[in-house]
Each structure stands twice: as structure tokens, then as C-alpha cells.
Structure 1
Amino acid sequence: MSLNILVDTIFVGNWIGSIAIAAINVVLPISFFIAALGMAIGIGGASIISRALGANDTARAKRTFGNQISLTLIITVLCVIVGLTFLQDLVPLFGGKGAIYEPASIYYRIVLYGAPILALCMMGNNVIRAEGAPKHAMIAMLIPSIGNLLLDYILINQLEMGMTGAAWATTASYCCCFLYIAWFFLSGRSELMPSIRQLLPDWNILKEMGGLGFVTLGRQATTSVLYLILNNILLDLGGEDSVSVFGIIGRMMMFALFPVLGVTQGFLPIAGYNYGSGQHDRVREVIYTSIKYACGLGVLILVGLLAFSRNIAAIFTDNTAVVDQATAALNIVFLAVPIIAVQLIGAAYYQAIGKALPALILTILRTGIILIPLLLILSQLYGETGVWISFPIADFLSTLITGYFLYRALNRLKDPVVS
């Protein structure tokens, strides 16, 4: 998935131009929000499913999955209707102004058509993982990655469809992902396929799912707000080139953090299952193991980024001004990547054990509570440099705070009582 986002941006930047990177970056917060809805419902329900399976309550797990399907479809269809109705207002709001507006509008409209499919993919993938089938979850994510790259080449490079081709490549690739996920559940490989009755609302499940899912939605929603604010700040400070720079930085942030997020997502069902079965010693073990390996990945990522920052920036575009700005930004933004695992896994722990409020607070801590205010203040004081230094400062402070609460939570975990 990281490679998909990275290479997709490289293709668009080289085959369409740096303005296309800026245009996609404008639409990205909206795509994030739609994906966040699916992830929120998926992860919120997956926490319930993991604990239900740990307690041998398959009926509750099936009801949860049925409610996930219904809720995802209802919410995303409403989002598509609203999004298309207010297209001319939303695109400029997210920074799609001037030369960026037209390509951003084209991309936005087509990607929005596939929003329900994207959300169902994000939801279904989390359920597959919660059921203990991580290889199928991985395949489901590889399909849109590989499909998008192939379709980019055909639609943009060969058929010269420009932004229209880029948008259809993304939408069609997630349709392929959805077909694989549907096959997994309909082919008998899953024990969770719900009946028609289990699609009907169960308000107790929806309430718990909503509380836990709101954690993920909060994280992704703050990311969307972050992109909205940054696109507008950078457009005012440096014009379209600066928005393109953040397009590159944003893709590299995804690439840098996705391995750590992968460990975090793998951590969630294991922690939830063992917490549900009272195996607190295994919960502690998976916390320590996840942090150790995620921090190790963070160190490797940082070394690679610092060593090849200019080469990385130059892959995306031949615009020298954009490359120069992106190189300087890359050397600042990722300085705290090795320690961010503590913040991500600490927040995920509370989500895994069903504690929605502390999970929400710790999840939005970095982006919503610390980073966005820093950006607004430091961009006024130090311009674009202030924008970039806000990232490692926010990473350090949020890790420090989350680490404190995680340490206290570990001390409160007691060994299971043998009856």
C-alpha cells in the first residue's frame, strides 16, 4: 500500500505534471475521510469481534459484522450525495484554487463515485484481520496497489487520459479489492458471514462500535483537517509549488509510517483477543514486541530518508524549485519517526481493550491537539520552515505523553486469576 501511494504519485507527477500532485493532495483529505469511515466502522467492529471470538461468542461476532455492512453503506452513500452536491464549495475549501481547481475537480468527482466501495474495502479488511486471516487481508490490500499501478500506466501513459485516467485507476483498483473481499466471505472461508436478520441494527453493538470506531474516525478526521489547513497555509506562503511539495511530503509520510501502522494494526486483534480471554501476560508481551519492532523500522526509515532525501524528491518531478523545497522539508519532518511507534501503539492499546475515551484522546493528541496549533503559530513566525519543524516537535511531545499513560496502564494489568 505504501509503495502504491508512492509510485502512483511518481507516475502522476512525471506523466501529468507537478500541478497534478497538488491536485491529488487537495482531494486526499476527502478520500481520507471516506476511507476513515470504513476504517472506523471496521476497527470499531473488529475490536468487538476479536473479544467475542476470544470469548467463543460467534453469534455476537456475526451480528457485529452484519451491522458493519449496513452502517458502512448507509453513511457512505449519504457522503457521496452530499459531496457531489457541494463539489464547487468543497474543492476550493481544501486548497483547490487557481490552476489546481480544474484537475482537482476531475479527480474528486470520479473518486467520490467509488467511495462506498473504498469504505467497504477498508471495513472488510479489518474484519478479515480480526478473524485471524492476515494473509487474506494482505492480499486484499495488494490487489488495489498492483491494480492501480497497472491502470495508471494504461490510462495515463498509454491512453493519455490525464487526471481522468488517474482517478479511474484508483476507483477501479478498489473495485477489484472489493470483489476479493466479497469472495472471501461468500466462499465459506469465513465463519462471520451474517444472515439477513443480522444486518438489522443492534443498538447495543452500534453504540459500542461507534464509540470505538470514533477513535479511528477522529484520527483520520484530524488528518483531513491537517491537510485542509496545510494546503491553504502553503498556498498563501509559496503558491502551487509549495502545495506540490507537501504532496510529496505527504506521500513520504504515508510511506514512512505505514510499516509502523502495519505493526499497530497487527497488534490490535492480538491484544483484543488476549485481553478478552484474560491473558494479560500476553497483552504485555505483544505491547513490548510491537514497540520494539516498530521503533526498529522507524530507525531504518529515518536513515534511508536522510541519506537519499534529494534523490527521493527528484523522483516525483523535474521541477527544480519543488525538488529543492521538498529536500529541505524531508530532512526536518521525519526526525522523530523512530519514536512515534510508542504513540501509535499506546493509543491502539486502549482501542483494543474497548476503552473508547482514552483511545480517542491519545489518537488525536499528535495531530489535532499538538500539531495543528503548532502549525498555525510557527507558520506565522517562521514561514515554511515553521511548518516543517512543527512535525518532529509534535511527534516528540505526543510520544512523551502517550508513553506516560501506557506505562501506567501496563502497571495496572494484572495476571489472570486461576479459578
Structure 2
Amino acid sequence: MDNSKLLGEEKIGKLLWKFSVPAIVGMLVNALYNVVDSIFVGNGVGEIALAAVAIAFPIMVILMAFGVLIGVGASSLISIRLGQQRIDEAEKILGNAYMLASIVMTALSMLMLIFLDPLLISLGAGIDLLPYARDFMSIILLGSVFMHIGFGMNTIIRAQGDPKTAMLTMFISAGINIVLNPLFIFAFKMGISGSAWATVLAQAVSAIWVTLYFIGKKSFLKLRIANLYPDRYIILQIMKNGLSPFLMQFASSIVAVLFNFSLLKYGGEVAIASMGIIQRVAMLLVMPMFGISQGLQPIIGFNYGAKKYDRVIKVLKLGIISATVLSIMGFIVIQVFDTKIISVFNQDPALIAVGKQGIKIVLAMLPILGFQLISAQYFQAVGKAKHAIFLSMSRQVILLIPLLLIMPNLFGLMGAWIATPLADLGAAVVTAVFLLKELRRMNSAINKNPL
């Protein structure tokens, strides 16, 4: 029996464990090497380099948004097509996604390289930060196509029922990055450029790895030359289905810009560097929840496509419970070890004082974040793009952006920190309303058509 058929037949608990654990491990490793990057940069180059990376962060988020648009959009469609036993269509989606990622990311990176200095200056890079931010981002942009081929195609590896290979892909990329980072920064004295080159080289290996996987014997779906030819309908479907996470990522870049300007105004470069640390730590804590959402995505998509709604509800509930447990554990760690966490990145007393205040406030609603992430992922997994888009936008655009425009003006630096937990709380309430309606609809369908 092939892996995709197991999605509709194996026990839910065993299936979620099989798919989520590799995804969690892979996501943790991926987040860990971002944290390790920052530790090496903070200790090997200094506080100013941490601030420069934070200033450049919105550009990286925009790049990731386009990668998510293609990768997540394609993988959700592929899971549904596999559930419908439409294998040829799934392979066409794979081919078009690969082609689209290559073309879009190359064009976008070249455009950003041309206007890099004005872009960084508009994001708040002053005379001190600009050289560091330029050195870092120019290299990242040169290799961004590798990142998005590796990331986008890896989600499809998981979607076709091979979570272990997807995890191995992340291990390979993270392992190379973790080894090269200290080598380039400390041994070769390459500074912030060394961190960027380590990242790009690791991502290039990852891109080659996933490409060889899809043209080799191990993959159930094959990357065929004929399917690389652009199909307008498939491209539109990929973009439609990936629009929700794309908009969420794009909105994140706007949020990052607003944060940077508020932090620079009310807390200076120390506050920006602190936010850079908080973002890395938050990523490390949230990635296990994303791992669960990545693991349940193919299970939900396959069973929804096969109209096995009872299995969809079971995996959704189990995913929410698991993510909530992890989010509560992360919250406890932050509240207890806030000072030690910040000091790992840099020993500057001012940075530690600002950072430990910020991290406790920004992540105050972490316990409910697991529920919100898994619930929003459900709508993405079943192809309900409009619902997923609204839920994604409810936090970033409808709530967080207005709060960032209002709260800092009223409460200074504290207002910037408070905006995030307020938006998290509001988004969780909105998501709960949508999810309850969806559960009632599926339960009604089950009762009308009992097995």
C-alpha cells in the first residue's frame, strides 16, 4: 500500500504521530538554526548586526510569502487530488509549482537587488546599520531561489505521504548551516556576510536534494519535463489556494516594518535588536505547532477530498490539543527563563533589560496560539481559501496593524509590545466562531450519510 492510501485508512492517532513528529523535528531544526545564526551574529559581530538583520527581516518575510504562496498552495491541492485518486493532476501541479517557484523567485530577487539600498533605507536602516544590512541581504537575495525550491518542494514531499524525507531535507539544510556559520564568522572572519553565505549554501544543497528526490525512484509523484510547461488553470489554482498564507506572510512584513519604526522611535537600536531576538525565540517556540499543522495538512486534505469527515474532525481535534499543550509549555519557559534566554544572544545589560520585558509581553498569549494556528490551517488544508484568507488577515491586518499604529503613540515602547498579545486574543476568538460553524456542518454531513 502506498503512503498516500494510508492517509485514509490508518488510525488517526498513529497517523498524526507519523506525520507530525518528523514535521515538528524538521521545523524545530529549521528554527534552531535561525536561532543559532542570531547567537553567532550577536556574539561574533555584535548588537548592531542583530539590529541590521532585524531591519532586513521584512524583506526576508516578503520572499518567504512568495515561497509560501507557491509551496503551500500546491501542496494543499496535491493532498486533495491524491484523496480523489487524480494522480496525473497531482503531478501536473508539482511540475507547475517547481517552474513557478524558479521563475518568480529569480525575478523577485533580481528586482530587490537593484533597489536594495533605497529599500533598506525606507525600512529604517540608518548610516550605521545600512552597511551591515546591505552585506547580509545582497547575499541572501542571490540565493533565495534555492530557499524557495527547497522549502516549497519539501511541503509537497510531505503532502504526498513521505514525512521522513521531508524531515531529512530540513536536517541536511540546518546541519550544513550550523557547521558553516561559526566557521565563516569566527574562523574566516567574514562577519555578517559569513552568516548569509552559510545560509545560502545550505539552501542550495537542500534545493538540489529535493529536485533529485522528485526525479528519482523514491518519490510517488514524479517531476516530469512535460509538466513544467505552464498551465494557466493550475497556476491560478495554486495561487488561489496559497493566497491565505501569502497574505499572512506579506502582512507580517508590514507588521515588522511598523514594529521597527515604533521600536526605533521609542527604544532605539537596542529595542530593534531585542525584537530580532524575540522573533527568533518565538519562531523556535511556534515551529513545533507549525510542525503539527504541516503534519495534519495532508491527512485533512486527503480525507476531506475522500469525504471522510469523521476522520477530518478527529485529526483536527487531536491537532488542536497537541498544539495547545506545546504552546503552554513554551509560555512557561518564557516566563521562567526570560533573562537567560536574552543573554544567550548578547551580554549587553541594556539589551537584556529591554529584551526580557519585551519577550514576556509579546508572547503573553502563547497558550492560545496553538489553537489559532491549527484551526486556520484546517481551512487552508480543505481548500477554503476565502475562510483561510479572512482568518489570516484578522490577526495581521484587521487587528495588529491598527494596534501598532495606535498603541505606541499612547504608551510608547510598552504600547508596541502590548499590540501583539491583544491581536492574538482577538484572532483566536474570531477563529473559534468560524471553526464551530464548520464542525457543525461536517457533523451534519456525517449524520446524513452514516457509514
TM-score grouping bracket, smaller chain normalisation: over 0.9
**1:175: how far off?**
0.9
Counterpart pick for 2:140 among 111, 127, 135: 111
CA contact (8 A) 1:39 1:126 kept: no
In structure 2, what residue type is equivalent to 1:126?
Answer: T
1:255-334 to 2 correspondences below 5 Å? 255-334=284-363
Cα root mean square deviation, aligned: 1.3
Following superposition, the deviation at residue 223 of structure 1 comes to 1.0
1:129-140 to structure 2, matched below 5 A, reads 129-140=158-169
- In structure 1, the residue matched to 2:279 is 250
Partner of 2:205: 176
Q: 1:34, 1:118 within 8 Å by CA — same for their partners in 2?
A: no
| Match among 144, 161, 171 for residue 190 of structure 2 | 161
| CA deviation vs aligned residue, 1:11-48 (integer Å, no higher than 9, x gap) | 11001001111111122221222222122211111111
- Partner residue, 1:83: 112
Q: CA deviation at 1:418?
A: 6.6
Does the alignment pair 1:125 with 2:157? no
| Counterpart residue type for residue 149 of structure 1 | I
Structure 2 distance, partners of 1:142, 1:371, is 33
Match of 1:337 among 352, 366, 381: 366
CA contact (8 A) 1:38 1:121 kept: no
Question: 1:116 Cα shift?
Answer: 0.8
**Equivalents in 2 of 1:312, 1:399: separation in Å?**
27
Q: Distance in 1 between matches of 2:449 and 2:99?
A: 39
Specify the alignment match of 1:417 in structure 2: 449
The Cα shift of 1:98 comes to 2.7
Q: Find out whether 1:143 has 2:175 as its counterpart.
A: no
Q: Which amino acid aligns with 2:366?
A: V
Q: Which amino acid aligns with 1:54?
A: G
Deviations, residues 171-218 of structure 1 (Å, cap 9, x unaligned): 111112112212211221112223222111222221211111111111
Q: Is the 8 A contact 1:47 1:272 kept in 2?
A: yes
TM-score (norm 2): 0.91
Would you say the 8 A contact 2:214–2:223 is kept in 1? no
| Distance of 1:78 and 1:179 partners within structure 2 | 20
Question: 1 CA distance for matches of 2:67 and 2:218?
Answer: 22
1:5 aligns with 2:34: yes
How far, CA to CA, are the matches of 1:418 and 1:66 in structure 2?
38
Unaligned ranges ≥5, structure 2:
1-29
Report what 1:363 is aligned to: 392
Deviation of 1:92 (Å) = 1.3
- Of all paired residues, the percent bearing the same amino acid is 34
CA distance in 1, matches of 2:302, 2:123: 40
Contact 1:256–1:301 under 8 Å retained in 2: yes
- Deviation above 6 Å: which 4+ runs of structure 1? none
Q: CA deviation at 1:148?
A: 1.2
- For 2:242, the equivalent position in structure 1 comes to 213
The answer to whether the Cα contact below 8 Å between 1:66 and 1:194 also exists between their aligned partners in 2 is yes
Task: Confirm whether residue 232 of structure 1 aligns to residue 253 of structure 2.
Answer: no
Q: Distance in 2 between matches of 1:144 and 1:96?
A: 29
Deviation at 1:8?
1.2
The structure 1 residue matched to 2:227, chosen from 192, 198, 206, is: 198
Aligned counterparts of 1:182 and 1:75: Cα–Cα separation in 2? 17
Q: Is the 8 A contact 2:320 2:375 kept in 1?
A: no
Contact 1:235 1:243 (C-alpha < 8 Å) held by counterparts: yes
Task: Provide the residue aligned with 2:425 in structure 1.
Answer: 396
With the length of structure 1 as denominator, give the TM-score of the two structures: 0.97
1:241: how far off?
1.1
Note the C-alpha offset of 1:64: 0.4
The CA deviation at 1:225 is 1.1
